[in-house]
Chain A
């Protein structure tokens, strides 16, 4: 059992893009998450600390931060797994504008989901019959493998290509586009391929696999992007993406 006197040293980013780390000492507990540490600081040491969370159980995707240099979901990250020598360095997610302290502006992140056409587009009119989607159909399996994204932005922060090119759609938006493209009920699947074929689209991925390495729910956006590359190449060769 952890000694009651044991303390953690936490360095927390304060400010916006320009700012500095501020050190806090937080009591170490058993089964303590990084989000617990941040919450303790906000409730007991500095009420002005800005951070974001909602569900605390790894569903909402709102509490992602950079913990000791790696993007993580803080509500499901145990301190014992990541604190080196009882020290934590917590910063906002990379590749997104900082609003204040640990809070990033997610607007550019979700704008890219729209740019990648990651939403369902219905067909022209009402269908006489329900679309048949067999559970073992290849498209259904591909969509299922990509669909559980919680929109936390961890992959976006982990991606080096996003850090090099601000306009790159990024792994989350492209993963969403891949799930949407595999929905055979979609009324404009070619529109998805056209959206991800823009100069900031899927072909910029270097297959570093940082997104897959860091995704807290174990998705593999690199695989989804590879699928989009194959689909767009086939469509290009068939002339389907011509303006």
Chain B
């Protein structure tokens, strides 16, 4: 792990803490309020605020998880730095792609 990846991992962790809490509160409020899927979508579609919120969330989670996967691979497998980094970056791209697809479906589709 380099200073930059350390900074990115700690920074994204700090960023995700309030995002996760907000996400959980919104889920609980939606469920307690008895909202249906259609009613939730009617509130999220076209909302720049929710698009930005989950866009940031997905990006932070993808970066954080990718670096974490690299660390785990270096510590628990015989893989070298380049191989672990390649898999970690690929994992980041996959997570970011899947997350972006979900945001598109919830906010714009």
Using a CB–CB cutoff of 8 Å, the interface residues on chain A facing chain B are: 161, 164-165, 197-199, 201, 203-204, 229, 232-233, 235-237, 241
Binding site for A on B (CB under 8 A): 1-7, 71, 74-76, 81
Asked if A199 meets B76 with Cβ closer than 8 Å, knowing A233-B3, A233-B7, the reply is no
For the complex, what is the distance from the CA of A161 to the CA of B2, rounded to whole Å? 16
B1 and A203 contacting across the interface, CB-CB below 8 Å: yes
| Closest Cβ–Cβ distance, residue A159 to chain B (whole Å) | 12
Cα A236 to Cα B5 in complex, Å, equals 11
Q: Which residues of A contact B7 (CB under 8 A)?
A: 233, 236-237
Q: CA of A236 to CA of B11 in the docked complex: distance in angstroms?
A: 14
Q: Which of B1, B3, B76 has the largest number of chain A CB atoms within 10 A? A: B3
B75→A203 contact, CB < 8 A: no
CB-CB under 8 A for A203 and B2, given A233-B7, A236-B7: yes
Pairwise interchain contact B2-A164, C-beta atoms closer than 8 A: no
Dominant SS among interface residues on chain B: helix
Nearest-neighbour CB distance to chain B for A89, whole angstroms, equals 27
- Min CB distance B78 to A, Å, is 10
A185–B1 alpha-carbon span in the complex (Å)? 29
Query: A201 contacts which chain B residues (CB < 8 A)?
Result: 1-2
Main secondary structure of the interface of A (DSSP, over half): helix
B99 to chain A, nearest CB (A): 26
Q: B3 → chain A, closest Cβ, in Å? A: 4
User: B3 near A241 (CB under 8 angstroms)?
Assistant: yes
The distance in angstroms between the C-alpha atoms of A106 and B2, with both chains bound, is 26
For this complex, 18 residue pairs linking A to B, each with C-beta atoms less than 8 Å apart, are A161-B75, A164-B74, A164-B76, A165-B74, A165-B75, A197-B2, A199-B81, A201-B1, A201-B2, A203-B1, A203-B2, A204-B71, A233-B3, A233-B6, A233-B7, A235-B3, A236-B7, A241-B3
Contact residues in B for A233 (Cβ distance below 8 Å):
3, 6-7
* Distance (whole angstroms) from the CB of A227 to the closest CB of chain B: 14
Q: Give Cα distance in the complex from A213 to B86, angstroms.
A: 36
The smallest C-beta distance from B13 to any residue of chain A, in angstroms, reads 14
| Distance of A190 Cα from B43 Cα, bound (Å) | 53
CA–CA, A204 and B3, complex, Å? 10
Please determine whether A199 and B75 come into contact, CB atoms closer than 8 angstroms.
no
A198 to B5, CA, bound (A): 11
B71 proximity list for chain A (CB < 8 A): 204
Pair B5/A203 contact, Cβ less than 8 Å: yes
Residue on A nearest B70 in the bound complex, by CB = A199
**Cα(A139)–Cα(B74), bound, Å:** 34
Q: A165, A199, A237: which contacts B2 (Cβ < 8 A)?
A: A199
**Smallest CB-CB separation from B81: which chain A residue?**
A199
Pairwise interchain contact A232-B3, C-beta atoms closer than 8 A? yes
Which chain B residue lies CB-closest to A204?
B1
Would you give the shortest CB distance from A243 to chain B, in whole angstroms?
Answer: 12
Contacts of A232 in B (CB 8 A): 3
